[in-house]
């Protein structure tokens, strides 16, 4: 018997053809549930996102929550979804969200299911605001259009970290047989356990982010014009509302991209991190309407890219690290000058991930607040921020170089909506001083020291090659020896977060948590350079991140850039060995 005629037909067709290879792909291994939840293509079989795998995942998650919360049936969970859909398999974010809601409601658990598409940050916001046990967001963020995902938040409003992923994974294995009525999502519509938080959150969230609005009068008067694109995702309506909440005139929306479209027809990849290609239509609209600044969200609106027209007429797309420097400077300055927060500066914190620029560390050292680095990923920053807040500390800002920013303590995850409007207020304020964002960025670097960064990746579909590449680095000059140099650059320190080794610690043990399941090595060089190589949790990539930090006063930027370029070339040549390992470069 079949519950989803479309996936059933796909499998039936493969059976009729006797296509063992494809069937093996669909049914050979179950999607792995990790700290980022699930991320895979929509389609048939247990290796894909479909009605059955969503039901099984939610059944496991439900049992795991029952085990952890005696008051689950009193508090409940929140579920949100983006606009993704796949015609061939009949899967869609909305359908998956309804099936998940049905699973919880069948067990007597109250569900706050958003009635319409929302930005991802609205889920963690709702968990915190309504003191719920957990949250689920059905989204694949900026992945290609065939993908979907299932992202999970704990009661503290942050993404889950280990050991919850293992616990949930095990519970999924133990609850694979769909419960009675698991497929009948119409049941939820008449259930007293179903609530719609849409109107409430749309009011309360915008009230909460106004606490970060410090220059309402400037916002009302500014003649700066902004272009906004939501890249066929969910962001349009919410960024419009955020501008209204800050008394800013609405940004010009890129008409071809403002409405949700699961086919993402105008872009190759719906990822604003990919830079200028995604922004082509935004540049055209900005030229037409005389706008100087472009704000671009990814499809689930939890990330933000910013571009600014320079004096020369060229457009500059800020890197995640550059925007992190600007927002960190701005949010600290606003706290210092306007905040009604009575806490002392020693109780103020900013966070960033270990592969992001250390500019916040430089600002913190000079200004006297605390900076901490965490492992890569907002799950770590969100959980750490919550710990600090519970100790009475103020966490003003956290960011990662992958254009993710947490500017507002009401959301313990990256949030592209609040980041967009706070960037717009910062730009409006700077305009009253005749400063552009680029000029202010230079001023920040002049004051705190230049931090030049360069990051890229290689694509590699063969896990064996990746394993070999990292093994080679750990046994570079004979067994258990790391490289002492990279081309002409002398290595002065090594931290390996796969094995837990750190040459700079007295006991040679790394302070940050280690994970054997992912590769990550950081090299420190004698010239002040730092480079990290790591595997991606969600894509077949080996990424690298490099940075040169100069002390304040060293203003020969071109020389620093040249030095970093040479370091990166050496890193690619000696440590990645792309020809030998048949790695595909980012641009190819």
CB of 238 closer than 8 Å to CB of 267: no
Residue with token string 């959150």: 201
Distant-in-sequence, close-in-space partners of 151: CB < 8 Å, separation ≥ 6: 36, 37, 120, 123, 136, 137, 138, 139, 159
Of 265, 245, 246, 241, the C-alpha closest to 255 is 265
Q: Residue 24, Cβ neighbours under 10 Å: how many?
A: 12
427-435 own/partner pairs: CB under 8 Å, 24+ apart: 427/224, 427/226, 427/293, 427/308, 428/215, 428/218, 428/219, 428/222, 428/224, 428/248, 429/215, 429/218, 431/222, 431/224, 432/218, 432/222
169 is known as an active-site residue: no
CA dihedral 212, 218, 222, 224 (to 10 degrees): -40
Q: How far apart are the first and last CA of the chain?
A: 45
Of 430, 422, 374, 436, the C-alpha closest to 399 is 374
Q: Residue 491, Cβ neighbours under 10 Å: how many?
A: 18
76 token code pair: 């409940």
**Farthest-apart Cα atoms in the chain, separation:** 73
Of 366, 364, 396, the C-alpha closest to 381 is 396
Of 16, 4, 17, the C-alpha closest to 45 is 4
Residue 122 CB-half CA count within 13 A: 34
Helix (H, G, I), strand (E, B) or coil at 537: coil
316 bridge partner residues:
308
Distance CA 375, CA 415 (A): 19
- Give me the helix-helix angle, 5-17 and 20-27, nearest 10°: 140
373 token code pair: 């680095």
Rg (CA), the chain: 24
Q: Which of 47, 92, 106, 141 is catalytic?
A: 141
CA 18 to chain centre: 41
Catalytic positions are: 141
């Amino acid at each position: 018997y079949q519950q989803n005629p479309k996936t059933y037909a796909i499998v039936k067709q493969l059976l009729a053809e006797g296509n063992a290879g494809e069937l093996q792909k669909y049914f050979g291994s179950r999607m792995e549930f990790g700290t980022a939840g699930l991320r895979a293509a929509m389609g048939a079989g247990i290796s894909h996102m479909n009605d059955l795998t969503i039901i099984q995942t939610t059944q496991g998650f439900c049992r795991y929550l029952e085990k952890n919360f005696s008051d689950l049936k009193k508090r409940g969970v929140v579920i949100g979804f983006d606009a993704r859909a796949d015609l061939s398999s009949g899967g869609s974010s909305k359908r998956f969200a309804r099936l998940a809601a049905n699973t919880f409601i069948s067990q007597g658990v109250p569900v706050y299911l958003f009635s319409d598409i929302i930005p991802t940050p609205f889920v963690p916001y709702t968990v915190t605001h309504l003191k719920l046990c957990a949250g689920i967001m059905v989204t694949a963020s900026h992945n290609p259009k065939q993908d979907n995902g299932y992202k999970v938040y704990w009661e503290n409003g942050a993404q889950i970290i280990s050991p919850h992923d293992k616990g949930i994974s095990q519970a999924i294995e133990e609850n694979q047989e769909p419960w009675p009525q698991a497929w009948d999502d119409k049941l939820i519509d008449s259930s007293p356990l179903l609530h719609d938080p849409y109107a409430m959150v749309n009011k309360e969230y915008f009230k909460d982010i106004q606490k970060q609005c410090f220059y309402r009068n400037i916002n009302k008067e500014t003649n700066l014009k902004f272009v906004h694109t939501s890249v066929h995702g969910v962001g349009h309506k919410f960024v419009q509302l955020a501008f209204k909440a800050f008394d800013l005139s609405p940004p010009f929306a890129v008409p071809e991209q403002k409405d949700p479209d699961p086919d993402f027809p105008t872009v190759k990849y719906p990822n604003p991190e990919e830079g200028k290609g995604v922004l082509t239509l935004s540049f055209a609209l900005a030229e037409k309407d005389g706008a100087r600044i472009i704000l671009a969200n990814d499809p689930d609106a939890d990330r933000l890219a910013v571009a600014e027209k320079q004096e020369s007429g060229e457009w500059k797309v800020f890197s995640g690290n550059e925007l992190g420097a600007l927002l960190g400077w701005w949010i600290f300055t606003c706290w210092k000058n306007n905040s009604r927060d009575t806490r002392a500066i020693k109780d103020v914190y900013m966070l960033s991930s270990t592969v992001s620029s250390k500019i916040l560390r430089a600002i913190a050292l000079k200004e006297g607040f605390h900076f901490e680095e965490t492992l890569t990923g907002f799950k770590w920053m969100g959980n750490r921020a919550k710990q600090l807040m519970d100790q009475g500390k103020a966490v003003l800002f956290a960011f990662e170089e992958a254009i993710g920013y947490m500017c507002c303590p009401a959301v313990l995850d990256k949030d592209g909506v609040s980041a967009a409007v706070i960037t717009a207020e910062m730009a409006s304020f700077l305009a009253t001083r005749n400063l552009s964002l680029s000029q202010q960025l230079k001023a920040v670097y002049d004051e705190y020291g230049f931090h030049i960064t360069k990051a890229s990746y290689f694509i590699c579909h063969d896990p064996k090659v990746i394993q070999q590449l990292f093994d080679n680095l750990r046994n570079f000059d004979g067994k258990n020896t790391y490289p002492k140099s990279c081309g002409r650059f002398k290595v002065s320190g090594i931290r390996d977060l796969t094995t837990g080794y750190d040459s700079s610690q007295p006991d040679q043990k790394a302070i940050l948590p280690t994970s054997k399941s992912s590769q990550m090595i950081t090299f420190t060089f004698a010239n002040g350079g730092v480079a990290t190589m790591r595997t991606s949790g969600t894509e077949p990539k080996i990424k690298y991140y490099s940075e040169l930090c100069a002390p304040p006063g060293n203003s020969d930027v071109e020389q620093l850039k040249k030095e970093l370029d040479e370091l990166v070339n050496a890193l690619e040549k000696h440590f990645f060995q792309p020809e030998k390992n048949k790695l595909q470069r980012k641009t190819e």
